[in-house]
């Protein structure tokens, strides 16, 4: 990996992954960070432009100025060969331990502090949220699953398909967990 690739943040690699799929303006990158990247990685809008500037300065992306409606010039970014190489090296590089920050589990960990009806309501809301996301993932997968390239590992659609499948499996597991929790709450509420 190049020195510039070694200093790139995970957000930088997320942006490189987007730009490797399609050249985009900063605004378009921000939109695409919400969906599909937002399904598994988040970034604030204010983080994206400084990161694009760092990637540009490192030679991992380049830009062209295009006509735009705003007061500043609009830049359309695309990855450079060095950016493609850095992204590829990062993809297969050493895995880093991931910090766990799961608000759902954190709330459930203190479920004992609320009344049984409130606990059941919370689990029901979690279940509805997981079902909504699962439905969205299934719709998106149906749209791309039969596209040319969806089964070709060198095509971005292949990566989209397998990450959606991972999200689908994760949400189905979460729904099973919610059903189990609701059964546990119901069993605990019955006189023995």
- 59-73 per-position pLDDT tens digit: 999 999 988 777 778
* pLDDT score, position 65: 92
Please compute the mean of the pLDDT values over residues 166-192 and round it to a whole number.
Answer: 92
Please compute the mean of the pLDDT values over residues 71-79 and round it to a whole number.
Answer: 89
**Where residue 2 falls among pLDDT bands split at 50, 70, 90?**
very low
Task: Using CB atoms within 10 Å of the CB of residue 76, give its burial: 0 to 12 exposed, 13 to 18 middle, 19+ buried.
Answer: middle
Cα(86)–Cα(5) distance, integer angstroms: 5
* pLDDT score, position 6: 55
- Encode 164-175: b = buried (16+ Cβ within 10 Å), e = exposed: beebbeebeebb
Please compute the mean of the pLDDT values over residues 109-119 and round it to a whole number.
Answer: 94
**Class (C level, CATH) for 3-91:** mainly alpha
Cα(155)–Cα(101) distance, integer angstroms: 32
Whole-angstrom CA distances from 62 to 4, 5, 11, 66, 133 are: 14, 15, 17, 13, 35
Q: At what angle do helices 45-57 and 26-34 cross, to 10 degrees?
A: 130
**Where residue 1 falls among pLDDT bands split at 50, 70, 90?**
very low
What tokens does 105 get?
Answer: 């589990």
The answer to whether 182 touches 155, Cβ cutoff 8 Å, is no
* Mean pLDDT over each residue of the chain, to the nearest integer: 91
Cα(12)–Cα(52) distance, integer angstroms: 8
The closest alpha carbon to 81, from 103, 59, 107, belongs to 59
The closest alpha carbon to 37, from 151, 47, 173, belongs to 47
> Which range among 96-100, 107-111, 118-122, 125-129 shows the weakest confidence by mean pLDDT?
96-100
Please compute the mean of the pLDDT values over residues 85-94 and round it to a whole number.
Answer: 95
């Amino acid at each position: 990996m190049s020195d510039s690739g070694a200093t790139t943040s995970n957000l930088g690699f997320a942006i490189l992954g987007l730009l490797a799929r399609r050249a985009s303006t900063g605004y378009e990158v921000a939109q695409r960070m919400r969906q599909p990247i937002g399904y598994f990685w988040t970034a604030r809008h204010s983080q994206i432009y400084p990161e694009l500037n760092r990637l540009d300065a490192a030679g991992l992306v380049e830009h062209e100025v295009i006509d735009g409606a705003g007061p500043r010039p609009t830049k359309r970014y695309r990855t450079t060969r060095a950016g493609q190489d850095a992204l590829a090296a990062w993809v297969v590089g050493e895995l880093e331990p991931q910090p766990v920050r799961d608000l759902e589990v954190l709330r459930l960990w203190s479920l004992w502090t609320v009344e049984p009806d409130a606990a059941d309501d919370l689990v029901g809301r979690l279940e509805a949220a997981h079902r909504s996301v699962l439905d969205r993932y299934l719709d998106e997968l149906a749209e791309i699953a039969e596209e040319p390239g969806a089964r070709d590992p060198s095509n971005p659609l292949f990566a989209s398909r397998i990450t959606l499948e991972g999200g689908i499996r994760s949400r189905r597991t979460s729904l099973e967990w919610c059903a189990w929790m609701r059964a546990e709450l119901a069993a605990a509420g019955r006189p023995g």
